[in-house]
Amino acid sequence: MKIKKGKKNQELQETQGKVAAEAAVSEANEAGVEELVEMPEVVTEPTEEMKKNASKIERFSQAVSKIKNELRKDVVGQEEIIDNVIIAIIAGGNVLLEGVPGVGKTRLVRSLSKTLSLPFSRIQFTPDLMPSDVTGTNVIEKDDNGKLNTVFRRGPIFANLVLADEINRATPKTQSAMLEVMQEHKITVGNTNYKLEEPFFVLATENPVEQDGTYPLPEAQMDRFIFKLIMNFPTAKELADIVKMTQITLDETAEAVVDGASILEMRALASQVPVIDDVLDYAIRLVTNTHPELENASSTATKYVKYGASPRAAQALVTCAKVRALVSGRYNVSYADIDALARPVLRHRIKINYNAVNERLTVDDVIGLLLKENKRLSK
């Protein structure tokens, strides 16, 4: 049967592409379905240190619940986004939020600053924004005696919670001003270093790179975000709730429930959560399996990955898994914690190659294949 050119031919190509993508995603299962098993649940007794901190652990869980309840007053849906943002803040990392305009990225950050009682500043990134507009600059001022002095005027980066709004609309030169502050929590202007007050947290929003007026973020800057989270468009019911909420007020109604000192205390407590060697090896193997250039490279990485994740990915996985364990009321990190955090940690740190693009696989699809392969190897 002859197929006419035009619409029918286009539909046939799209159907073939979808079938190829589905086949690639299920390839790991088909290769060894009998070998793929759920990882065993890790159960360990609370350490002596944890027993001493039992009351702190209880307050930890209560504080996280209060934060979530307050954020729900201003943000409709996006439960996974809220959970991961809270985990990142307690872990001491920065978060990159991607989504189309209007899905509530900026509102989430403003509500978060109220809930955490932290000084908040917003930087609107535009193509003409300069690095000194972010960090601050030295200016010459005349004192009461008429003497000229050099004075440093601090920029908006000097706050505990910084919203870098539409960060990928600024040029790479301006984006580079964020590298030192995001990693070391300090600013260097001239020959002087300025330490930022803890806790310090950058929550950046970006528009999809396909939209006009955007610049791709450099890999060095992407790697400094502990998570990249995707804010999807709300469902019809969620959209109706958003409209009803904004008809009453456009202001955030969340109230303060914790402060900066509490966040630092929660961070210190999370660092004491034990990680057994098997779970640690599982996390390390997942990161090393993203590198196609290694001698014992995974089949998924060899076929679909161009560049693998950096060592920061392994650090982020373990650090955030400890926080997630405490949020879940557990005294230990489990395999499920690593699996749940794999996509937020890895999706901005690995680059897929042409084979993945040709088979219409997304980065998240490839991470799913890496997880399945990692489970087989860890059996």
The alpha-helical segments, DSSP class H, found in the chain are: 7-25, 27-31, 48-52, 54-71, 79-91, 105-116, 131-135, 172-175, 179-184, 219-222, 236-248, 260-270, 277-288, 299-304, 311-327, 335-346, 354-358, 363-377
Return the domain boundaries, the chain.
24-53+274-379, 55-271
Q: Are strands 94-98 and 161-165 parallel, antiparallel or unpaired?
A: unpaired
* The CATH classification of domain 55-271, taken from the options 3.40.50.850, 3.30.360.10, 3.40.50.300, 3.40.50.970: 3.40.50.300
Residue 42: pLDDT band by 50, 70, 90 thresholds?
low
Does an H or E element contain 97, and which? strand 94-98
Asked if 53 and 82 count as a contact pair (C-beta separation under 8 A), the reply is: no
Q: Which residue has the higher pLDDT, 374 or 238?
A: 374
Close Cβ partners of 356 (under 8 Å, ≥ 6 residues apart): 303, 304, 305, 365, 366
Encoded amino acid at 258, one letter: V
Does pLDDT of 287 surpass 80? yes
326: closest CA among 49, 48, 42, 59? 59
**Spatial separation of the C-alpha atoms in residues 62 and 160, rounded to whole Å:** 23
Q: Tell me what pLDDT residue 260 has.
A: 84
pLDDT at 152 over 70: yes
Higher pLDDT residue, 81 or 42?
81
Give 24-53+274-379's CATH code, choosing from 1.10.3720.10, 3.40.50.1820, 1.10.8.80, 3.30.365.10.
1.10.8.80
d(CA 201, CA 89): 7
Give CA–CA dist 311/361, Å, rounded: 25
The CA-atom distances, in angstroms, between 70 and each of 127, 263, 287 are 35, 16, 35
Distance CA 363, CA 361 (A): 7
What is the pLDDT, as a whole number, of residue 335? 93
**Does residue 234 surpass a pLDDT of 80?**
no
Position 110 pLDDT exceeds 70: yes
What is the pTM assigned to this prediction? 0.80
- Classify burial at 351, counting beta carbons within 10 Å of its beta carbon; exposed 0-12, middle 13-18, buried 19 or more: middle
Could you tell me which residues are beta bridge partners of residue 137?
A: 153
Average of pLDDT values for 159-163?
Answer: 88
Helix (H, G, I), strand (E, B) or coil at 92: coil
Distance of CA 39 to the CA centre of its chain: 25
pLDDT at residue 48 above 90? Answer: no
The strand pairing partners of 71, in sequence order, are none
The percent of residues in the chain predicted with pLDDT above 70, rounded, is 82
Tokens (6 digits) for 115: 């809930």
Which position has the higher pLDDT, 28 or 257?
257
pLDDT tens per residue, range 306-324: 999 999 999 999 999 999 9
Ramachandran assignment for 101, one of left (phi > 0), alpha (psi -120 to 50 degrees), beta (any other): beta
CA 9 to chain centre: 40
pLDDT of 33 over the 50 cut: no
Cα angle value 369/371/374 (rounded, 5°):
110
- From CA 95, how far away is CA 88, in angstroms rounded? 7
DSSP secondary structure string for all residues of 273-339: ----HHHHHHHHHHHHTT-TTSTT--HHHHHHEEE---HHHHHHHHHHHHHHHHHTT-SS--HHHHH
- 2: confidence class by pLDDT, cuts 50, 70, 90: very low
Average pLDDT over residues 34-60: 63
Sheet holding 120-124, edge to edge: 120-124, 161-165, 201-206, 94-98, 225-230
3-state secondary structure of 11: helix
- 77 is written with which tokens? 């849906």
Find, among 260, 167, 154, the residue nearest to 209 by Cα.
167
